[in-house]
C-alpha cells in the first residue's frame, strides 16, 4: 500500500486544524487515529501524553509525495495481532507450562507471509517504523525487527530456507520477555541493577521456550539466546565473542538495537534514523559486525520521506523520495532559500548533486500550551 501525505513534523510544529497524513497505531497494532483526522488542540495534547512527538500531516507543498510501505497494511495488522494473541497467552500462563504447540505453526505462517510480501517488492528499504503510542512495545518491536532483519537477509543473498529461519528467529527473539514480571517489563523509568539482571534473563527464557518447540528451527532458539551477545564479549547471557555468535544473531543485534533506539518509549523519545546509525557505527567491530553494519546502512532510508532538512547550501526542503541505490542521498523539495524566504518549490536530487549534503534536521519543537 502507498500513502500520499505528507510532511513529518514535530508536535510543536503542528497547528490545530491540520489533517493527519498517516494513521497512528496503538502498541497492539490497532488504529488509534485514522488518516485524514483533524488534529485539534486536545488531540495533540493527548498524543503528547501518549509519548508521540512526531506526526505525518497533510501539506499542500508536499501533497503529491508517496511513501512506499515495506509490507502491506493487512500483513502488518494480522502479524501484530497474532504476536499479541500468542504472547498474551504465554504471559497469562501462571502454571509455568513450557510447551506451546500452537506457537510454531502460528509463527511459521506469519514468517512466510512477511517473506512473500517483502519478496514481491523491488528494492525494499528500511523505513522509519509506523507511529505508535508507547503503552506497550513488545508486539510491534518483534514485528519491526523481523521486517528489518529479513530485508537485510535478502540483501545479503540468503537462500529461501535460510531467510525463513532468520525470519522465525527475529520474530521470536524477544519471546523470553513473556516470562519477565510486568513490573520490570513495563517500568517507565530506568531499571535498578536487580531489575536489569532479571530483564537479561529473557534471553535464557527465550531459548528454553523455543528449543524443543515443534515447527520452530533450533537456530531460532539460538537467535533468542544470542541476540544480546556482542563481538567483544561484553554482551549477555554468556559473554561469548565474535566467532562464537551465530551470524543470524549478529544481524538481529543490529536491528534490535536500531528499533529500540528509533521507537518512542515512555521514558524517552525515539531517535531519527541518522542518529541511531551514528551510535551503531560507534560500536562497529566491538559490538556489531562491521560488514553487516555496511549492509544495514545501504538498505536504510537515512532521512525519511517527509522529513524537513537544511542543506549545506542553506536552503530548507522536505525529503520527497529515497533512491534505493543511494539511500543516504535523498531527493529534497526546496521550500525556503538560504535566507529563510519561501520559494516556488523545486527539487534537488542529492544522488546527482554530490557537492550538496544534508547539514541539519529540523528541530523537534515542544508545543506551547
List, for residues 327-369, the tens digit of each pLDDT value.
Answer: 999 999 999 999 999 999 999 999 999 999 999 987 654 444 4
Which is more confidently placed, 50 or 331?
331
**pLDDT at residue 65 is higher than 90:** no
Name the pLDDT band for 131 (thresholds 50, 70, 90).
Answer: low
pLDDT for residue 159:
97
Pairing relation of β-strands 308-311 and 66-68? unpaired
User: pTM for the complete prediction?
Assistant: 0.87
Q: At what angle do helices 160-171 and 247-262 cross, to 10 degrees?
A: 50
Average pLDDT, the chain: 88
Helix (H), strand (E) at residue 6? strand 6-10
> Is residue 84 over pLDDT 50?
yes
* Cα angle 20, 21, 22; round to 5: 100
CB neighbour burial string for 72-99, b if at least 16 within 10 angstroms, e if fewer: eeebbeebbebbbebbeebeeeeeeeee
Contacts of 121 (CB under 8 A, 6+ apart): 68, 70
Question: Region 260-272: what's the mean pLDDT?
Answer: 78
Predicted local confidence at residue 269, as pLDDT: 72
What pLDDT is recorded for position 189? 81
**What is the third-level CATH fold of 73-298?**
Hypothetical protein af1432 (1.10.3210)
Domain ranges of the chain: 2-68+307-361, 73-298
Decide if pLDDT at 3 tops 60. no
Once rounded to an integer, what is the mean pLDDT over residues 276-285? 95
Among residues 79, 72, 70, 88, the alpha carbon closest in space to that of 106 is found at 79
What is the tens place of the pLDDT at every residue in 250-263?
A: 999 999 999 999 88
49 pLDDT tier (thresholds 50, 70, 90): confident
In this predicted structure, the answer to whether residue 298 has a pLDDT above a threshold of 70 is yes
Written as nine digits, the cell of 64 is 503529491
Q: Measured between alpha carbons, how far is 138 from 80 in angstroms, rounded to an integer?
A: 10
Q: Is 366 exposed, middle or buried (0-12, 13-18, 19+ CB in 10 A)?
A: exposed
Higher per-residue confidence, 238 vs 11? 238
Vertex 256 angle, CA 170 and 196, to 5°: 110
| Mean pLDDT, residues 235-243 | 97
Cβ neighbours around 180 below 10 Å, total: 20
Higher pLDDT, 367 or 16: 16
In sequence order, what are the beta bridge partners of 19? 38
pLDDT score at 365: 46
pLDDT in tens, 173-228: 999 999 999 899 988 788 999 999 999 999 999 999 999 888 899 999 999 999 99
Band of residue 248 on the pLDDT scale cut at 50, 70, 90: very high
**Cβ-proximal residues to 245 (8 Å cutoff; 6+ apart), any chain:** 226, 229, 231
Whether residue 98 is predicted with pLDDT greater than 60 in this model: the reply is no
pLDDT at 2: 41
Q: Give the CA distances from residue 196 to residues 191, 192, 297, in Å, rounded to whole numbers and listed in that order.
A: 6, 6, 30
Q: How confident is the model at residue 313 (pLDDT cuts 50, 70, 90)?
A: very high
Q: Give the pLDDT confidence score for residue 1 in this predicted structure.
A: 36
Residue with cell 542529492: 350
Indicate if the pLDDT at residue 137 is higher than 90.
no
Model confidence at 59, pLDDT cuts 50, 70, 90, reads confident
Which segment of 49-63, 93-107, 263-277 scores lowest on mean pLDDT? 93-107
| Spatial distance between the Cα atoms of 216 and 210, rounded to a whole number of angstroms | 7
Amino acid at each position: 500500500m502507498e500513502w500520499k501525505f505528507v510532511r513529518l513534523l514535530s508536535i510543536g510544529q503542528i497547528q490545530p486544524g491540520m489533517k493527519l497524513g498517516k494513521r497512528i497505531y496503538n502498541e497492539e497494532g490497532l488504529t488509534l487515529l485514522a488518516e485524514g483526522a483533524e488534529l485539534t488542540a486536545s488531540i495533540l495534547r493527548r498524543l503528547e501524553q501518549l509519548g508521540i512527538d512526531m506526526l505525518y500531516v497533510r501539506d499542500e507543498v508536499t501533497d503529491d509525495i508517496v511513501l512506499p510501505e515495506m509490507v502491506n497494511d493487512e500483513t502488518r495488522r494480522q502479524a501484530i495481532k497474532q504476536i499479541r494473541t500468542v504472547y498474551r497467552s504465554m504471559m497469562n500462563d501462571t502454571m509455568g507450562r513450557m510447551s506451546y504447540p500452537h506457537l510454531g505453526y502460528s509463527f511459521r505462517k506469519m514468517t512466510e507471509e512477511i517473506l512473500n510480501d517483502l519478496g514481491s517488492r523491488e528494492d525494499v528499504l528500511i523505513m522509519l517504523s509506523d507511529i505508535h503510542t508507547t503503552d506497550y512495545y513488545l508486539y510491534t518491536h518483534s514485528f519491526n525487527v523481523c521486517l528489518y532483519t529479513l530485508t537485510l537477509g535478502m540483501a545479503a543473498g540468503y537462500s529461501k530456507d535460510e531467510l525463513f529461519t532468520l525470519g522465525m528467529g527475529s520474530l521470536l527473539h524477544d519471546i523470553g520477555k513473556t516470562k519477565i514480571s510486568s513490573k520490570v517489563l513495563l517500568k517507565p523509568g530506568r531499571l535498578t541493577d536487580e531489575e536489569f539482571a532479571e530483564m537479561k534473563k529473557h534471553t535464557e527464557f527465550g531459548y528454553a521456550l523455543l528449543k524443543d518447540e515443534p515447527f520452530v528451527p533450533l537456530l531460532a532458539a539460538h537467535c533468542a539466546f544470542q541476540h544480546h551477545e556482542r563481538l567483544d564479549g561484553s554482551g549477555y547471557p554468556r559473554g561469548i565473542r565474535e566467532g562464537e555468535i551465530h551470524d543470524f544473531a549478529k544481524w538481529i543485534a543490529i536491528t534490535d538495537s536500531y528499533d529500540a533506539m528509533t521507537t518512542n518509549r515512555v521514558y524517552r523519545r525515539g531517535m531519527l534514523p541518522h542518529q541511531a546509525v551514528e551510535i551503531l557505527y560507534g560500536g562497529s567491530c566491538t559490538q556489531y559486525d562491521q560488514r553487516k553494519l555496511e549492509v544495514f546502512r545501504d538498505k536504510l532510508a537515512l532521512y525519511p520521506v517527509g522529513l524537513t532538512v537544511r542543506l549545506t547550501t542553506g536552503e530548507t526542503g522536505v525529503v520527497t523520495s529515497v533512491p534505493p541505490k543511494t539511500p543516504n542521498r535523498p531527493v529534497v523539495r526546496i521550500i525556503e532559500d538560504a535566507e529563510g524566504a519561501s520559494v516556488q518549490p523545486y527539487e534537488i536530487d542529492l544522488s546527482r548533486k554530490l557537492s550538496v549534503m544534508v547539514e541539519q534536521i529540523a528541530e523537534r519543537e515542544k508545543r506551547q500550551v
